[in-house]
Chains A and B, each alone.
Chain A
Amino acid sequence: MQALSKDNVTLRPTLPASRQAQCDNCRCSFPFYFIALFSVLFLCTSAFGQLDNLKWKKADLSYEKPDHFRKRNYSFQADDAGEFIKKSFVNAYWFFISDVDGDNCPFSPSCSSFFMDGTEETNIFQATLIFSDRLTRDANPIKKNRYPHGISGHYYDPATNYTLNQGRIKYLPPEFIVEDE
């Protein structure tokens, strides 16, 4: 035993005498405690990592552009022949052109829906004029700060503001965000 302790002394000659005495008295060495603690921590974290699969599982990503436009009514239900003809044209436009082309109209409601709203609010003749005006405004590239925005990011521009009925106009400032488009 003396020879061993001597060896230890020679291996760690720089330690102060008090520390050396402590080391000589302890049963387990510092590396033992370190390895034991590391093992426990390693086991715990590994076990926790196995339970943490929810965090790292494959995400359900969708690359579809969110469609905030209101649901379109594709039905052909109509009260009269004129209504049926109008609905046929609009449905054909929606089905063959608009739906394929995507959500490209900067306004909400879109120009075709705006025309439909116009016919409901007024008559076919007035709605055509409203629609023509909308197309002109759509062609204007400088639309910023003129219309309020919907939550979809489109310019909110309802047909009720264009019925030439002053009492029905609901003015909203451009900084306003419309939640119910």
Chain B
Amino acid sequence: MKKLLVILFLIPLASLPQSTSFDFHSPKNIKKFADYLFCEGDYIRAVEQYTTVKNIFHSDTINLKIMLSYSNLNLHKQVFEFYLNEIFFEFEEDAQKLYLKNSFLVDSSVFYANLSNNLFPFDMDQAVANYFLKLRSVYFIETRSKEIKKEELLKPFDILQRREVEPFIDLSVNPDYKSPALAGILSAVIPGSGKMYVGEWGDGITALLLTSLFAFLAYDNFKADHSTRAWIFTGLGAFFYAGNIYGSVASAQIFNARIDFEFSNGLNLFLEQKNYFLPDYDFCN
């Protein structure tokens, strides 16, 4: 009897989900799923889902999210195309900023030339123009241009951002380069000193020891009338002496390349951390 009751209870319970019509693919649920994907960082699939419901909701938020997704995927061309094909209302300013950011990422020099020739497909209001000036400052910092004064480069940034951007401006104008010519001259006077000047102490000491050793051996053999050996050591000494001068110049150049690399890397890291001065959208909380 008990078993029969349990079966009678379970049959309708099992059949209930089958009979209930739950539409997983309703626009509302697709949007919910797209929101979930967007917040999880699965931008490719989020865009797919948003695109299917975009024309049903006619929401600015969805359009901006699609643009943000393309931007986060570095699909710059799609960002431009999407902006040109859609009409924004509430987020027009944000969409324009995203457009600018992506044109800056494609090629900063083209980005700057576009403004000079008024090639952007929109008129900028005050906020967007200020955002453009920020990116323009970054462009001048990146290219180490001295066209614009420091005060003017800092002007578009607020006080907190100025503190962060200022060291980059200082480094771009006065990089900690080493002079290749000075390194060469130093090594010509005291072998290895040019390398020490560049900061390569190990190489500098090795060059000094090698050159000194062969110079001493040449001198000692000349003194002892072993002219053949003396000339061999003279040749080896000259070989390492000349190489030490050349190497010091090359080391100074490599040092400068390292300074450029670290500056560029640091600036890019800073820009990525700051999301290229775009606002932090609170879509996922």
Interface residue ranges, A against B (CB under 8 Å)? 126, 128-133, 135-137, 139-143, 146, 161-162, 164, 166, 169-171, 173
Contact B246 A169 (CB under 8 A): no
A131, A136, A142, A170 pick with most chain B CB within 10 angstroms: A136
Known contacts A129-B242, A133-B243; is A142 also within 8 Å of B258 by CB? Answer: no
Number of chain B residues close to chain A: CB under 8 A: 24
**Residue in contact with B239 in the complex, picked from A132, A137, A140, A173, CB distance below 8 Å:** A132
Which residue in chain B gives the minimum CB-CB distance to A139?
A: B206
B240 within 8 A of A: yes
B210 within 8 A of A: yes
Contact B254 A137 (CB under 8 A): no
Chain B 250-261: CB-based contact to A (< 8 A → 1; otherwise 0): 100110111011
Taken together as a complex, chains A and B put the C-alpha atoms of A60 and B79 apart, in Å, by 54
Contact A137 B206 (CB under 8 A): yes
Which residue in chain A gives the minimum CB-CB distance to B239?
A: A132
Taken together as a complex, chains A and B put the C-alpha atoms of A126 and B261 apart, in Å, by 26
The secondary structure that dominates the A interface is helix
Give residues of chain B (251-279) contacting chain A, Cβ–Cβ below 8 Å.
253-254, 256-258, 260-261
Contact B261 A173 (CB under 8 A): yes
**Residue in contact with B256 in the complex, picked from A128, A141, A164, A166, CB distance below 8 Å:** A166
Contact A136 B206 (CB under 8 A): yes
Contact B250 A136 (CB under 8 A): no
B202 within 8 A of A: yes
Taken together as a complex, chains A and B put the C-alpha atoms of A162 and B252 apart, in Å, by 10
B244 within 8 A of A: yes
Chain A residues lying within 8 Å of B253, measured Cβ to Cβ, are 164, 166, 169
Give residues of chain B (186-232) contacting chain A, Cβ–Cβ below 8 Å.
200, 202-203, 205-207, 210
Known contacts A129-B242, A132-B239, A166-B253; is A137 also within 8 Å of B258 by CB? Answer: no
Chain B residues lying within 8 Å of A146, measured Cβ to Cβ, are 200
Contact A136 B249 (CB under 8 A): no
Q: B206: shortest Cβ distance to chain A, in Å?
A: 4
Which residue in chain B gives the minimum CB-CB distance to A136?
A: B207
The secondary structure that dominates the B interface is helix
Query: Can you report 13 A-B residue pairs in the complex whose CB atoms are below 8 A from each other?
Result: A131-B243, A133-B244, A136-B203, A136-B206, A136-B207, A140-B203, A140-B206, A146-B200, A164-B246, A164-B249, A166-B253, A171-B257, A173-B258
Chain A residues lying within 8 Å of B207, measured Cβ to Cβ, are 136
Which residue in chain A gives the minimum CB-CB distance to B242?
A: A129
Contact A171 B203 (CB under 8 A): no
Chain A residues lying within 8 Å of B210, measured Cβ to Cβ, are 136, 139
B156 within 8 A of A: no
Known contacts A139-B206, A139-B210; is A132 also within 8 Å of B246 by CB? Answer: yes
Q: B199: shortest Cβ distance to chain A, in Å?
A: 10
Contact A135 B243 (CB under 8 A): yes
Chain B residues lying within 8 Å of A139, measured Cβ to Cβ, are 206, 210
Contact B203 A164 (CB under 8 A): no
Contact B244 A136 (CB under 8 A): yes
Contact A169 B254 (CB under 8 A): yes
Contact A132 B203 (CB under 8 A): no
Q: A1: shortest Cβ distance to chain B, in Å?
A: 41
Contact B242 A164 (CB under 8 A): no
Which residue in chain A gives the minimum CB-CB distance to B238?
A: A132
Which residue in chain A gives the minimum CB-CB distance to B200?
A: A146
Taken together as a complex, chains A and B put the C-alpha atoms of A125 and B273 apart, in Å, by 48
Chain B residues lying within 8 Å of A142, measured Cβ to Cβ, are 202
Contact A137 B250 (CB under 8 A): no
Chain B residues lying within 8 Å of A169, measured Cβ to Cβ, are 253-254, 257
Taken together as a complex, chains A and B put the C-alpha atoms of A162 and B200 apart, in Å, by 15
Q: A96: shortest Cβ distance to chain B, in Å?
A: 21
**Residue in contact with A161 in the complex, picked from B200, B244, B254, CB distance below 8 Å:** B254
